[in-house]
């Protein structure tokens, strides 16, 4: 596994303790990317119960708001007070239970979605056997006869744990690009 690990391409001001980067093209990197592609397919194919199996029991899943703030106030552009999602395993499972019931009309008929996951960069996380995975996503969502795709773009800041034969998602923070979302709800997972 040590061949997969290289010094992080981090800003110079970071000291030797900067997290080590998992090299693109390494076996570990490829295994993690595969897990992300699998997750995207699971969600796009509406296999929500299967998706919950990828969530760690202690998962934390959040989506802060974005605000239009001046350049000097950019540190306040990501606002974590009232978020769009603030979930744990129990609430995510409850959302999935609803979707599998008879009356989740926001997604029945379901949207047709594609989750395009790119720009994946991985570093070792503090927890042994865990990795910080940052990726970009573009989600396309098509509903009913509307020929215009609803789009959502953003970044996922995840921690995944290596369980040997698979990975699990320990945390996900979704950083959206829109201050005012262009879709009428988040009845879908990001």
Partner 1 sequence: MLTRTTPTLSDGTPIEDLVRPATREVELRVLSDREIYELEMERVFGKTWLLLGHASEIPNAGDFVMRDMGNDSVIVARDRDGSIHVSLNVCPHRGMRVCLADAGNTPVHKCIYHGWAFKPNGEFVGSPVAEEKMHGEILPKSELGLRKARVHIYAGLIFATWNIEGPSFDEFLGDMKWYYDMIFNRTKGGWEVLGPPQRFIVNANWKAAGEQSAADGFHTLTLHRWLDEMFGNGGSELTSTMYGVEVGSEHGHALRCQSLSKKFARAKDFDNGSMSIEERWNILPAPGCTPEMLDEVRANLTPEQMEQLMTNPPQVGGMFPNVLLACIYAPQPDGRILGSMALHTYIPRGPDKLEFVNWVFCESGTSQEDRDVMLKNTIFMLGTSGLVEQDDSDTWPHMTLSARGTQGRKATMKYQAINANPPPKNWRGPGLVYDGFTKDDTQWNWWMYWRELMLSAD
Query: Residue 74, interface with partner 1 (CB under 8 A)?
Result: no
- CA angle, corner 123, sides to 122 and 128, nearest 5? 125
Options 102, 126, 164, 165; binder of partner 1; rule CB under 8 A: 102
167-176 and 55-63 beta bridge pairing: parallel
Structure tokens at 11: 């800003």
CA 69, 75, 78, 82 torsion-angle sign? negative
Q: How far is the CB of 41 from partner 1 (least distance, A)?
A: 22
Contact 22, 123 (CB under 8 A): yes
Nearer to partner 1, 105 or 118 (CB): 105
Q: Decide: residue 2, CB within 10 A, 0-12 exposed, 13-18 middle, 19+ buried.
A: exposed
Choices 26-34, 46-54, 67-75, 128-136 (CB under 8 A): range interacting with partner 1: 67-75
3-state secondary structure of 67: coil
Does residue 106 touch partner 1 according to CB under 8 A?
yes
The single residue among 65, 93, 123, 142 that binds partner 1, judged by CB under 8 A, is 65
142 part of the interface to partner 1, by CB under 8 A: no
> If binding is defined by CB under 8 A, does position 149 make contact with partner 1?
no
- For binding to partner 1 (CB under 8 A), which residues are involved? 63, 65, 67-70, 73, 76, 79, 81-87, 91, 94-95, 97-98, 101-107, 143, 179-187
């Amino acid at each position: 596994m040590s061949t997969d690990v290289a010094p992080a391409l981090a800003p110079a001001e970071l000291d030797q303790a900067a997290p080590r980067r998992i090299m693109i093209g390494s076996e570990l990197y490829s295994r993690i990317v595969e897990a992300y592609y699998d997750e995207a397919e699971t969600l796009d194919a509406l296999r929500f119960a299967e998706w919950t199996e990828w969530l760690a029991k202690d998962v934390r899943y959040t989506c802060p708001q974005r605000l239009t703030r001046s350049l000097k106030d950019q540190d306040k552009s990501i606002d974590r007070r009232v978020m769009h999602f603030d979930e744990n395993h129990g609430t995510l499972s409850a959302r999935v239970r609803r979707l599998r019931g008879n009356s989740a009309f926001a997604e029945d008929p379901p949207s047709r979605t594609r989750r395009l996951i790119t720009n994946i960069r991985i570093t070792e996380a503090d927890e042994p056997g865990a990795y910080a995975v940052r990726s970009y996503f573009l989600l396309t969502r098509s509903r009913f006869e509307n020929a215009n795709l609803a789009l959502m773009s953003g970044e996922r800041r995840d921690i995944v744990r290596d369980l040997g034969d698979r990975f699990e998602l320990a945390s996900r923070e979704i950083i959206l690009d829109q201050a005012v979302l262009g879709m009428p709800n988040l009845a879908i997972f990001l």
